[in-house]
Amino acid sequence: MTGGPPQAHENDWPRPPGLILAALALAAGVAAVADGQDNGWRQASIATGLVSAVLFVAGLQVAWANWRWKAHGPGGRVWINILYILLGFLLVSAASPTRHRIIYAGSDYRVPYQLPGPVDRWSEGMTKEITVATSGVGPVLIRLNLHESHDTLPPLLEVVAGGAVVGQIQVKPGHGAEYPHWRTKGLASSYSVIVPAVALAPEKNEVILRPVSGSWIALRNVRIWQLPRPWEPWRYLIEPWNWLLFWLAAAMVTAHHAAALWRARGSRGLAMGAAMGVMTLGLLALILAAMAVYVEARHRWMITQPDNFRSREMFYGSKHLRDAQLGWRLLPGFIGKTIENGASEPRPFYIVNNHGFRSLSEEMEFPPRGKVMALGDSFTQGAYLGQTETIPAVMARKLGSYVYNLGVGAYSTDQEYTAFTQWIDKVDVEWVVLFFFANDVIFVDQPIGHKFEKPLYRTINGKVDFSGLMPLPDKFVEEENAKVRAKIEMEKTFCCFSEMPEPVVERAMLKIREYLFEARYPGLLFSTIVADIRKTKGKPTPSHLDVTVDLLENPGKYQAQLDMVFQFLAKIKEESLKREKKYFVVFIPDFLQLYEPDIPARSNLRWAFMKSCAENGIPCLDPSDELFRNSKYNDVYFIDDGHFSPHGARIVGEMVAERIAETRP
């Protein structure tokens, strides 16, 4: 008999099309690539579209192979297959929405963990609104996902775009649970608003959500969908339809194989097939569980995770005073406290002495004598690090003597030189150590550093006039400092600090729930897992946005600024030796430079700096290799930020202390 479909026999086991497995692998790859593109925009729905389309095609393929259709034979099958392929491309196009972006609370200073309302008097100095950027082309759908909201005074949020109010969000009451119980005891809720394209001109593409009444909310994330333009109606098939398409296609294939098993071996075959399906799902669940445990175990040093909350408001915001010669100092006498691991009493976590520098312990005055003067920026100051975790604190323990921490966030080499001149004759030290970071090159000749006005040294034909400091105007300094003093508290408790408030297993269970219920379709599931794994490997872009890839790879473009940096380094060496102090410089590698060793060009600035050290006779220490070796066991940076984690600061502090201890008098 010819021309008909094959007949089922007792030993005919239906074989799952290899096309399905290939599609799953392809979808995972597409999701992985899409997840890393466009600064966080997720296109995981493309992967879902691929899986859905191929499953649908596979279902038709197996149907054609077993059902009695009129179209059969080589010629008919060729045309039918072409039709299937075309249908698959149409499904991919229809099921793939435009770009989707997720901003997690705490990963961007404009999206805080907790947004206070107008009635919250405790919120002085905190972020009072949420700001998200869009592409400025076409309407956008913004979805606000909350962990918790106030139980009696939930806020009314105003949505502003293009300077006009385009909508409102009335938040529902929550349980009122406080941190760190938002994720476990809070009443999660979600709210959406569509912002029309007319409100989003390219030059005004920010959407602001601000509370106009009520109390606080605790944020999980903000999701942004770039909606289709009017001439793209096929793009209106967004997530739900994509998800339904996948499960309908999967159900079609499953039902057909179940029918084939029944025809082949009856109820026994169907039972065996069901058992195999359950075993497969169980294996998948075990894989997801293992992945969740791995991800959570590696997230210890991430400040985007609520399980290691280190308040950014404690370190930045209005915690500085302007200074005519230095540009700015830390707020003298400021004490930031935290509640640790459920303790009832807050403890000091961040203390600034009376001179505007971080204390080593709890002293408010510098002692007259110590071992080392440490100069630098936020790495030396210890951004997000407690009193015992900073590089100078590690050095002091190792050396058994006091280390002066003259590091202040955003200082460049010229400001570090000024701090050196102010203090070198006021304290008695044996060593001067300067910690250099890449953005010193960018701001050393600029009047503004990190949005703060700064004084400059005059230069003549590229040569620095060290006696020609042009300070900030006294009136400007007084006016700016009056604004800070009028609104700042000198002692404040920031809730809460806890390195590991929950066991890894408990957090892994929450992560599994996220994988299964929040990632509703395969593309997003693949994308979420890939993003989590990347975070454990330190692949996300650091927040040191001023340290560009161009600076790291092409330091020759910045040769004039590098020359200025080394003039300041050489001058500090000269003044130190004149006072019989020993001196060396520590090169702090950038996040990208360390975590992308497979791109050799990332280290060009490092090699150029160390070469200049040798040419100028300046002793320099490069801890990059040691940091890289240790990064295999734990994160040496806060991997959403680019500053040293406690682990990284300890490595550098111990290396510097060992260098000092080993140097002969």
- Specify the range with the lowest mean pLDDT, choosing from 168-182, 215-229, 263-277, 514-528: 514-528
Residue with tokens 């993003």: 531
Which superfamily does 306-501+543-662 belong to? SGNH hydrolase (3.40.50.1110)
If you average pLDDT over residues 158-175, what whole number do you get? 91
pLDDT, average across residues 557-568? 92
Tens-place pLDDT, residues 306-357: 334 455 666 766 678 999 999 999 999 988 887 765 556 778 888 999 999 9
Candidates 588, 664, 556; CA nearest to 416 is: 588
Residue 168 confidence (pLDDT): 92
Beta strand spans in 47-184 (E): 100-104, 114-115, 130-133, 140-149, 156-161, 164-170
Compute the distance between CA of residue 567 and CA of residue 612 in angstroms, rounded to an integer: 11
Please state the domain extents for the chain.
Answer: 18-97+237-297, 100-234, 306-501+543-662
218: tokens are: 């605790």
Give the confidence band of 437 by pLDDT, cuts at 50, 70, 90.
very high
Residue pair 450/459 in contact by the 8 Å Cβ criterion: no
User: What is the secondary structure of 291-342 as a DSSP string?
Assistant: HHHHHHHT-TT-TTSGGG---HHHHSSS-EEEETTTEEEE-TT-EEEEEETT
Work out the angle between the directed axes of helices 44-66 and 18-35 (0-180°, nearest 10).
170
pLDDT (tens digit per residue) in 493-542: 766 554 444 566 777 787 787 787 655 555 566 667 776 776 666 544 44
Nearest-10 crossing angle of helices 559-578, 413-423: 10
What count of other Cβ atoms lies within 10 Å of the Cβ of residue 370? 21
- 302 pLDDT above the threshold of 80: no
CA-closest candidate to residue 439, choices 137, 142, 642:
642
State the amino acid at position 211 in one-letter form.
P
Res 308: pLDDT: 42
pLDDT given at position 114: 84
Whether residue 273 is predicted with pLDDT greater than 60 in this model: the reply is yes
Name which of 8-17, 139-148, 441-450 the model is least confident about.
8-17
Helices (H) and strands (E) in the chain, counts: 19, 24
Distance CA 498, CA 311 (A): 11
Q: Which residue type, as a one-letter code, is found at position 549?
A: V
- In this prediction, residue 407 carries a pLDDT of 95
Q: Count of residues for the chain?
A: 665
Pick the CATH number of 100-234 from 1.10.3720.10, 2.40.50.140, 2.60.120.260, 1.20.1110.10: 2.60.120.260
For the chain, what is the mean pLDDT?
76
Taking phi over 0 as left and psi of -120 to 50 as alpha, with beta for the rest, 395 belongs to alpha
Strands 452-453 and 448-449: antiparallel
Q: Which pLDDT score, from 0 to 100, does residue 274 have?
A: 82
Higher-pLDDT residue of 476 and 15 is 476
Bond into 346 cis (ω within 30): no
Q: 67 — phi, psi (to 5°)? A: -95, 155
- The set of residues, in sequence order, having a beta carbon less than 8 Å from that of 33 and lying 6+ positions away, is none
Q: Measuring CA to CA, which residue among 569, 568, 584 is closest to residue 395? A: 584
Residue 7 above 60 pLDDT? no
Q: How many CB atoms lie within 10 A of CB 443?
A: 23
Q: How far apart are CA 421 and CA 426, in angstroms?
A: 9
329, β-bridge pairs: 321
What average pLDDT score do residues 612-628 get? Answer: 93
Amino acid making up residue 463: K
**What tokens were used for 612?**
């200049």
Quote the tokens at residue 630: 């240790």
- The confidence score (pLDDT) of residue 327 equals 92
Q: Which uninterrupted H or E stretch holds 108? A: none
Residue 509 φ/ψ, nearest 5 degrees? -65, -40
Helix intervals (H) in 43-72: 44-66
How far is Cα of residue 13 from the mean position of the Cα atoms in its chain? 49
- Tell whether the model's pLDDT for residue 252 goes beyond 80: no
Q: Tokens 């294939």 label which residue?
A: 253
Running DSSP on this structure, what letter comes out for residue 263? Answer: H
Is the link from the previous residue into 613 a cis peptide, with omega within 30 of 0?
no
Q: How many other CB atoms are there within 10 angstroms of residue 428's CB atom?
A: 14
Q: Are 377 and 391 in contact (CB under 8 A)?
A: no
142-146, 234-238, 393-397, 461-465: segment of lowest average pLDDT: 234-238
Secondary structure of 568-614 in the HEC alphabet? HHHHHHHHHHHCCCEEEEEECCCHHHHHCCCCHHHHHHHHHHHHHHH
What is the pLDDT averaged over residues 56-60?
59
pLDDT value for 272 = 82
Task: Report how far residue 89's alpha carbon sits from residue 84's, in angstroms, rounded to the nearest whole number.
Answer: 9
Mean pLDDT to the nearest integer, 474-494 = 82
> What is the predicted pLDDT for the residue at 539?
46
Q: What whole-number distance in Å separates Cα of residue 270 and Cα of residue 45?
A: 33
Percentage with pLDDT > 70 across the chain: 67
Residue 411: pLDDT over 90: yes
